Amino acid sequence: MSSHQPPRPVRFGILGCASIARKLARAMLLAPGAAVAAVGSRSEEKARLFAADNGLDVATTRLHGTYEAVLDDPDVDVVYLPLPTSLHVRWATAAAARGKHLLLEKPTALCAADLDAILAACDAAGVQFMDSTMWMHHPRTAKMRELVDDKDAIGDIKVINSVFCFRANEDFLQNDIRVKPDLDALGALGDVGWYCIRAILWAVDYELPKTVIALRDPVKNQSGVLLACGATLYWADGKTATFSCSFLTNLTMDITLVGTNGTLHVTDFVIPYEEKSAEFSVASKSNFAQLHIGWDPLPSKHVVTTDLPQEALMVQELARLVQNIRDAGGKPEGKWPAITRKTQVVLDAVKTSIDKGSEPVEIAN
């Protein structure tokens, strides 16, 4: 292959036509270096409808009436897996065993032991693992990281708060897979709490907390699935973080980081208000104005623009990693499974604390 030829695109197979898969199909069409090779559903008709509805070329996209057929498709490099959480171990391990790289929807597993089975399968097969926490890939996130790492602007982080909730309608609360104990038993904790936990870990550079204590009186449905909950996390050096997540309150996606020198606020961290532009604010060395009638200095606003939406940047980054393995003999990037595992470990501890009536749960480092 001559050097000026563009590398072969990385070809994705979509396993299951969940509603989130629509967003990812669009991302795969937008992302340079990626293509949709196949769609698999429990019926070929459903796969055909999904392809037609989402602008996929029905002539070039393979349409499969079983999940197995996607895994057996030699044209597929990467499997994107948006199936209910209870099916992740079965299909993710099967995909890895067939040598497919893996983009796994969150929550990645029902517990860390299940996730470890998935990661072990990926490791054994030498395939790349990545979860689909899209905001990790937004350029705003990198810009916020620069500021968080700037000891002068923020100082030492002491307090973190995160909220992610949305107001689900009656149909969702009755019928969505995220409220069904046999499909997505983690409910709101797995669906939206995942993001809060990830944000908190991101802010502290993935240092695991020492102790987790769930907030009291979580809200559950009649099947015992969580509709609203939260927790406080404690670190050995005195940092604390609190998060709340819910299906029952207005759409909110906040991170507040409070350091000795400064404070960072972002109010749309999971999905920015607009695709092309995202902002955050930093208040640094803030003081009372004279007579305490205002602030001095005022917080600064930072705007970060992007041509591609964050989910397309995620697909592009995964495609880059896969290309390196497939075409250049590279090794999988270990950062992504490590971050996923830490998120899952904290999520497990929160769930354990909830199940024990808000007892403290220690996390072994």
Please name the amino acid found at residue 295: W
Measured distance CA(299)–CA(55) in Å, rounded: 43
The answer to whether residues 109 and 119 belong to one domain is yes
Residue 147, domain extent: 136-308+344-362
**pLDDT tens across 80-127, in order?**
999 999 999 999 999 999 999 999 999 999 999 999 999 999 999 999
Q: What would the DSSP string read from start to end of 276-290? A: SEEEEEEEES-EEPG
Q: Summarize pLDDT for 169-205 with one digit per residue, the tens.
A: 999 999 999 999 999 999 999 999 999 999 999 999 9
CATH of residue 58: 3.40.50.720
- Please tell me whether residues 121 and 257 are part of one structural domain: no
Shared domain for 235 and 118, answered yes or no, is: no
Contacts of 160 (CB under 8 A, 6+ apart): 199, 200, 203, 204, 239, 240, 241, 242, 255, 256, 257, 258
Identify whether residues 253 and 320 lie together within a single domain: no
Tokens of 64: 């499969």
- Does one domain contain both 67 and 149? no
The question of whether 106 is a catalytic residue gets the answer yes
Query: What is the total count of domains within the chain?
Result: 2
- CB 271, CB 297: distance < 8 Å: no
2, part of any domain: no
The mean pLDDT value of the chain amounts to 96
Percent helix, strand and coil across the chain, each rounded to 5?
40, 25, 35
Q: What number is the average pLDDT over the span 274-295?
A: 95
- Note whether 172 and 297 are same-domain residues: yes
* 310 contacts: CB under 8 Å, gap ≥ 6: 134, 135, 137, 138, 272
The pLDDT of residue 364 is 86
Residues 192 and 225 reside in one and the same domain: yes
**Distance in Å from the first CA to the final CA of the chain:** 46
CATH of the domain at 288: 3.30.360.10
Residue 164 lies in a domain: yes
Do both 102 and 154 map to the same domain? no
Quickly list H helices, the chain.
19-30, 44-53, 67-71, 88-97, 112-125, 139-149, 170-175, 187-188, 194-203, 310-328, 335-355
Instruction: Specify the pLDDT at position 3.
Output: 59
Residues 48 and 168 in one domain: no
- pLDDT computed for residue 17 by the predictor: 86
Q: Which residues contact 158 (CB under 8 A, 6 or more apart)?
A: 238, 239, 240, 258, 259, 260
The one catalytic residue among 23, 100, 106, 351: 106
In a domain, 173, yes or no: yes
Examine the domain organization and report whether 153 and 299 are in the same domain. yes
- Type of residue found at 169: N
pLDDT attached to residue 195? 98
Smallest Cα–Cα separation from 326: which of 173, 99, 150?
Answer: 99
Instruction: Count Cα neighbours of 116 within 13 Å in the Cβ-side half-sphere.
Output: 6
Residue type, 247: F
15, part of any domain: yes
What gap in Å lies between CA 43 and CA 272, rounded to an integer? 34
Assess whether 268 and 285 both reside in one domain.
yes
Better-scored residue on pLDDT, 138 or 57: 138
Read off the tokens for 22. 């629509």
109 and 87 within one domain: yes
What is the per-residue pLDDT for 59?
A: 87
